[in-house]
Every structure is written in structure tokens, then in C-alpha cells.
Amino acid sequence: MNIHPIRTQQDYEQALREASAYFDNEPDPDTPDGDCFEILTTLIAAYESKHFPIGLPDPVEAIKFRMEQGGLTIKDLVPSIGQANRVYEVLNRKRGLTIEMIRKLHRNLGIPAESLIG
């Protein structure tokens, strides 16, 4: 095993090439190849989180994603946001979310509060 820290873009690309060989035929854990694959993916993930951070989604986009994911309609948002006209206002960015709406969306629909705070 010839693994070293990923410090540069070139190191990153090399690690991706090495790890990609394992994706088609993933090795068993607790084997030399399995250990190598696990170490490579851990190093790659650490490099990506540092150099390519993914920000939190826009609150409205988080709601729309949850709607799409769960096959939800405007009616399904009424208990969390208010009457249908209020739901449309929020989804069209004419009205912001209140703390109470954020709490209800998180509790009722499982949308992470961090995504709703924006």
C-alpha cells in the first residue's frame, strides 16, 4: 500500500484514479484491498470537504426538494406554513419563513432546520 496525504490537485486526481479501480469490484472489508479502498475514500472525502465545501441549500429549495422527494403537495405544507395562499407566498419568495414555520417544517416533514434557516 503506497498511500500518502492528499495535498494537491494532482494528489487528489491520482487518489480518484486509484479508488475508481475498486468501484466496479468493491473489495471485502478487512482485506488489504479493502483497507486500501477505505483509506483512499476517507482521504478523498477529507480533501473534498476542505476544498469543495457544499453550502446549505436555499430554504425554499430545501422545501421544494422535500416536496419532490416525498410527492408532497401544497396541501401537505398547510399544517406547517399556514393556509395555501401563505404556502404559495413562501414558495414564490414573497414571504419569508418564521421561526414557528421552521420548527413545524422540521418537525412535520423532517427538513433539517439548518437548511431552513439559510
User: Where in the sequence is the domain holding 16, given as residue range(s)?
Assistant: 9-51
Measured CA distances, 20 to 12, 14, 26, 36, 37 (Å): 12, 10, 10, 12, 9
Q: How does the average pLDDT of the chain come out, rounded?
A: 93
Helix, strand, coil shares, percent, the chain, to 5? 65, 0, 35
Task: Specify if 97 maps to a domain.
Answer: yes
pLDDT one-digit tens code per residue, 56-104: 789 999 999 999 999 999 999 999 999 999 999 999 999 999 999 999 9
Task: Specify if 109 maps to a domain.
Answer: yes
Question: In the chain, what percentage of residues exceed pLDDT 90?
Answer: 84
Residues 64 and 113 in one domain: yes
72-77: list long-range contacts, CB under 8 Å, 24+ apart.
72/109, 76/109, 77/105, 77/109
Residues 98 and 65 in one domain: yes
Domain CATH for 81 = 1.10.260
Cβ(102)–Cβ(54) below 8 Å? no
Residues 41 and 19 in one domain: yes
- What domain count does the chain have? 2
| Residue-level pLDDT at 93 | 96
| Residue-level pLDDT at 60 | 97
Cβ(78)–Cβ(87) below 8 Å? yes
Residues 106 and 87 in one domain: yes
Residues 44 and 14 in one domain: yes
Residues 44 and 69 in one domain: no
- Given a cut of 70, whether residue 1 has pLDDT beyond it is no
d(C-alpha 66, C-alpha 108), whole Å: 11
d(C-alpha 113, C-alpha 84), whole Å: 22
| Residue-level pLDDT at 23 | 86
Residues 37 and 63 in one domain: no
Note the pTM of the prediction, 2 decimals: 0.59
d(C-alpha 88, C-alpha 106), whole Å: 18
Task: Specify if 4 maps to a domain.
Answer: no
pLDDT one-digit tens code per residue, 11-63: 999 999 999 989 888 999 989 999 999 999 999 999 999 999 888 789 999 99
